[in-house]
Amino acid sequence: MTEEDPNNRCQVVVFASQKGGSGKTTVSAHMAVEAERAGAGPVALIDTDPQGSMAKWWNARSSDTPAFAQISVPDLARDIKVLAKAGYRLIIIDTPPAVTSTIAEVITHADLVVVPTRPSPHDLRAVGPTVDIVQMQGKPLVFVVNSATARARITGETAVALSQHGTVAPITLHHRVDFAASMIDGRTVGEVNEASRSAEEVATLWRYFEDRLMRMRGDKLEIMGHPPRRTFEQDILTPASAGMATSDEDDEEFRIENQPGYALPGQAPSFGATPPPTADAAPPPPPSNSNWDGIDRRKSDMGPPKGQADRRRAHQPFGRRHMA
């Protein structure tokens, strides 16, 4: 809570991640608009990023909600109180891609910190310092996997990796052009097409945050009157996520091992298809550390050692074993 007054129900959600381009501005703007649409407002937005992406998006908007509060970080404590007194129920703060004392200062005002993370090794590697700065202040943290490729194994693996550091939101935002396109003229995916799959994801993600924030407020009466806790299993488990082919927009399965430049430790990275070996091509040289002496023993397989039964079946290489 940001105010001593028990009647004051204003909550502050800070979007932070030192990784540039992880989706802080996109997800925070979408959550603000969706919260307002779902009746959790009035919502105020604060942009603490000197780049001002959120401010530019808001300036391009025709709608007046959510409100945009022009606030500088040194005045944050005082201005959050002013906003709370003015009746704002939710304050959403976008931050620059860094881990600095300024961001630490912003996080001190958070009721909840959201860390959007793309399913990529670079994003995962960068997550540590952001988590540290949040945990040092004992603030609740939720990761949102953003910009995921449909049915890609790396999405689930990212969620598992992130879960070692904190809670992962059960809703993943997928990579779709409308997330970027809708923000050009100051809108969101839901404002461009309410029936789109992106809009559905945004609405479901907000319902998750709404539930968390409500439970954090500890308003027992409200919890009693609230519908039963959503389990989100139908949002996580779909025929597509279970591997069933669908005929819609979903992309080919993304496999990291098929990506250009991928290599196992100690291997040279591959940057494209290698031509198939020709008939007279020399066999590949053995790795320098192997004991291979150049003889292919499969050709000189003469059977079992002396005294042992030959269990090979010349004409029955496969098939069921006959039971005695």
Where along the sequence are the contacts to ligand ATP (CB under 6 A)?
20-26, 49, 53, 97, 146-147, 173, 175-176, 179-180
User: How far, in Å, CA of 191 to CA of 91, rounded?
Assistant: 20
Shortest approach of Mg ion to residue 114 CB, angstroms? 13
> Residues binding Mg ion: what is the number (CB under 5 A)?
3
- The yes or no reply on residue 53 touching Mg ion (CB under 5 A) is yes
C-beta closer to ligand ATP: residue 192 or 214: 192
User: CA separation (Å) from 133 to 125, 142, 254, 302?
Assistant: 15, 14, 32, 66
Strands (E), the chain: 11-15, 43-47, 67-68, 90-94, 112-117, 141-148, 167-168, 173-174
Say if residue 66 is preceded by a cis peptide, omega within 30 of 0: yes
Q: Which residues pair with 13 in a beta bridge?
A: 92, 112
Of residues 27 and 168, the one with the C-beta less far from Mg ion? 27
Q: Does 52 bind Mg ion (CB under 5 A)?
A: no
Query: Per CB under 5 A, which region of 50-58, 174-182, 245-253, 308-316 contacts Mg ion?
Result: 50-58
- Residue 21, binding choice from ligand ATP, Mg ion, none, Cβ under 5 to 8 Å by partner class: ligand ATP
Nearer Cβ to ligand ATP (89/175): 175
Cβ neighbourhood burial of 201 (10 Å; 0-12, 13-18, 19+): buried
> Which option in Mg ion, ligand ATP, none does residue 179 bind, with CB closer than 5 to 8 A by kind?
ligand ATP
Query: Nearer Cβ to ligand ATP, position 180 or 256?
Result: 180
| Least distance in angstroms from the C-beta of 169 to ligand ATP | 13
The smaller minimum CB distance to ligand ATP, of residues 43 and 84, is found at 43
Closest CA to 66 of 34, 25, 109, 114: 34
User: Side chain identity at 188, as an amino acid letter?
Assistant: T
| Interatomic CA distance for residues 12 and 80, integer angstroms | 9
Residues that bind Mg ion (CB under 5 A): 24-25, 53
